[in-house]
C-alpha cells in the first residue's frame, strides 16, 4: 500500500519525538498514508546513535517519514516549525512536561495559531500526583503491575520488548484518529494525551478484574493457576520446545483421539475443563513423556492437522525466515540511513487484504529539509544560507 493510496493520504503530521513512544504513534499514521514530517535537531535525533537494546529503535519506528533538521532554539528554526504547525493536521510530541511550552510549541501556542490542529502528547503519566515525574517503559512496567505479573514470584521482570512504549503510541494514534473524525463535525482540534503508566494499568486490567471476581490476587504468570490443564511448553527431540494448548472440551476429545489417549477420552472425570485443571499434575507428566518422543516438526504437523493451538518457540531473528510472514507481506525490506538493507515488521493489519507498505526508507538526517523548506517558499539561496549558518541540516 503506497502512501498516496493510504486511507490517511492528504493528512499532514508534524512530529517532535524521540525514542519509541512518540515515534510509534507517528509510525501508525505514516504507514496508513499520512505525510509525517519528523523534526530533528541539528545532528539528528539522538536515538539514531543508541547501541545495545536501543540500536533498533530508530530504524523500526521512523520509516515512511520525512526528516527536517533545524535548530528550534534559533529565531529562524522556530519560524520554520511554526509555519509548518500552522498548516499541519496533527502534531505529535513526547518531551518532558513543559519542555515544548518553554520553546513556544505547547498546545496553547499552536492551537491559537491553528484551531484545527490535533495535538498529541505522549507522556509518562496522565494528570495526577505523578504527572511531573520522568517515566520510561520499564518504570511503567514496574509501577503498573506488569513486571510483577511477568516474572516469577519475588523477581519482577520487564516484558521482552518495549510493549508499553509501543502500545502507548498506539493509544495516542487511536486518540488522534478519533479527534480527526470529530473534527469533521466541529471543525476544531483536540489535545490528545496518552501515557505509559495508564497504558500499563489498562493492560493488567484483566488481572485487576480477576481479583474483583475471585477475591484472590492474580499470581505472577509463571506461578499462575492455569485456566486449562494443557497449556504449557513441552520439550521435544533435538533440544527443541513447542507450546501446546487444549482449551475446550471438544479440543480435548480431538486431542485424545489423535494421540491415542483412549483411557483419557473415556474417563468421565476428565470430560470437563475444570475437572482436568484439578488433575493437571497427573496429566502433564504423561504428556511430557509422550511429546519427548516427537520431533518439533512432527508434533506441530500433528497438532495442526487436529486444529489445536500450538507454537514453536522462536527467537526474533527466526522471524526473518518465517514462511507465513514472507508470504503475506509481513516484512518490509528497507535501506537503513547508515547501514545495510534490513527486513522489518509491517503494521499488523490489512485493508482489503493488503498490508501497509513502505514508501520512504528510515531517512537520513535532514533528508527532506530542502524539499520542505522549498514548499514553505524558501529559495535555494535562502536554504543554503541557513545551512551555512548551522540552522538547517541537509544530506547534500
CA dihedral 285, 290, 292, 298 (to 10 degrees): -140
CATH of the domain at 273: 3.30.1540.10
State pTM to two decimals: 0.94
| Residue 218 belongs to some domain of the structure | no
Over residues 372-386, mean pLDDT:
98
pLDDT digits (tens, 9 = 90+) for 319-342: 999 999 999 999 999 999 988 999
| Residue 10 belongs to some domain of the structure | yes
Same domain, yes or no: 233 and 329: no
**Burial class of residue 61, CB neighbours in 10 A (0-12, 13-18, 19+):** buried
Is the predicted pLDDT of residue 60 greater than 60, yes or no?
Answer: yes
Any bridge partners for residue 109, and if so which?
none
| Residue 283 belongs to some domain of the structure | yes
Over residues 40-54, mean pLDDT:
96
Q: Of the candidates 170, 166, 164, 162, which has an alpha carbon nearest to the alpha carbon of residue 199? A: 164
Query: Are the CB atoms for 394 and 381 separated by under 8 Å?
Result: no
Instruction: Supply the pLDDT for residue 3.
Output: 42
DSSP secondary structure string, 45-69?
A: -GGGG--GGGTTHHHHH-TTEEEEE
% of residues, the chain, pLDDT over 70: 98
**Which residue, 286, 314, 342, sits at the end of a domain?**
314
Q: Of the candidates 118, 119, 124, which has an alpha carbon nearest to the alpha carbon of residue 138? A: 124
Helix, strand, or coil (residue 366): coil
Over residues 120-146, mean pLDDT:
97
Is the predicted pLDDT of residue 4 greater than 70, yes or no?
Answer: no
Same domain, yes or no: 261 and 348: no
Is the predicted pLDDT of residue 1 greater than 90, yes or no?
Answer: no
Terminal Cα-to-Cα distance of the chain (whole angstroms) = 29
The strand pair at 191-195 and 230-236 is best described as unpaired
Instruction: Supply the pLDDT for residue 224.
Output: 83
Q: Can you tell me the distance from the alpha carbon of 346 to that of 356, in angstroms, rounded to the nearest whole number?
A: 7
Supply the range of the domain harboring residue 252: 226-314
Domains in the chain, number: 2
**Which residue, 259, 294, 314, sits at the end of a domain?**
314
Instruction: Supply the pLDDT for residue 2.
Output: 43
Same domain, yes or no: 341 and 384: yes
Same domain, yes or no: 193 and 230: no
Amino acid at each position: 500500500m503506497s502512501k498516496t493510496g493510504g486511507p490517511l493520504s492528504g493528512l499532514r503530521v508534524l512530529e517532535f519525538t524521540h525514542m519509541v513512544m512518540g515515534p510509534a504513534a507517528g509510525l501508525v499514521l505514516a504507514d496508513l498514508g499520512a505525510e509525517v514530517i519528523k523534526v530533528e535537531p541539528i545532528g539528528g535525533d539522538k536515538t539514531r546513535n543508541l547501541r545495545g537494546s536501543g540500536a533498533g529503535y530508530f530504524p523500526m519506528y521512523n520509516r515512511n517519514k520525512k526528516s527536517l533538521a533545524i535548530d528550534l532554539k534559533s529565531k529562524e528554526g522556530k519560524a520554520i516549525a511554526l509555519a509548518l504547525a500552522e498548516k499541519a493536521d496533527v502534531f505529535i510530541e513526547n518531551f518532558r512536561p513543559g519542555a515544548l511550552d518553554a520553546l513556544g510549541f505547547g498546545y496553547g501556542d499552536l492551537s491559537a495559531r491553528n484551531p484545527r490542529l490535533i495535538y498529541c502528547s505522549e507522556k509518562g503519566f496522565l494528570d495526577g500526583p505523578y504527572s511531573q515525574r520522568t517515566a520510561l517503559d520499564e518504570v511503567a512496567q514496574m509501577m503498573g503491575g506488569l513486571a510483577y505479573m511477568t516474572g516469577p514470584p519475588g523477581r519482577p521482570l520487564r516484558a521482552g520488548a518495549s510493549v508499553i512504549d509501543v502500545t502507548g503510541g498506539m493509544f495516542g494514534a487511536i486518540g488522534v484518529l478519533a479527534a480527526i473524525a470529530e473534527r469533521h463535525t466541529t471543525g476544531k482540534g483536540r489535545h490528545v494525551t496518552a501515557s505509559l503508566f495508564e497504558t500499563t494499568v489498562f493492560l493488567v486490567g484483566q488481572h485487576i478484574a480477576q481479583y474483583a471476581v475471585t477475591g484472590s490476587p492474580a499470581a505472577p504468570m509463571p506461578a499462575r493457576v492455569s485456566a486449562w490443564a494443557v497449556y504449557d511448553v513441552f520439550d521435544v527431540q533435538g533440544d527443541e520446545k513447542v507450546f501446546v494448548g487444549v482449551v475446550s472440551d471438544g479440543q480435548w476429545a480431538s486431542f485424545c483421539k489423535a494421540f491415542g489417549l483412549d483411557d483419557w477420552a473415556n474417563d468421565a472425570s476428565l470430560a470437563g475443563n475444570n475437572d482436568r485443571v484439578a488433575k493437571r499434575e497427573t496429566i502433564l507428566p504423561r504428556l511430557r513423556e509422550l511429546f519427548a518422543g516427537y520431533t518439533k516438526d512432527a508434533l506441530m504437523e500433528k497438532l495442526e492437522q487436529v486444529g489445536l493451538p500450538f507454537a514453536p518457540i522462536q527467537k526474533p531473528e527466526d522471524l526473518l525466515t518465517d514462511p507465513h510472514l514472507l508470504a503475506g507481506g509481513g516484512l518490509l525490506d528497507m535501506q537503513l540511513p547508515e547501514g545495510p538493507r534490513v527486513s522489518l515488521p509491517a503494521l499488523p493489519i490489512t485493508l482489503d487484504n493488503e498490508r501497509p507498505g513502505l514508501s520512504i526508507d528510515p531517512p537520513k538526517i535532514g533528508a527532506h529539509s530542502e524539499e520542505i523548506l522549498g514548499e514553505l517558499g524558501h529559495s535555494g539561496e535562502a536554504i543554503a544560507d541557513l545551512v551555512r549558518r548551522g540552522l538547517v541540516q541537509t544530506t547534500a
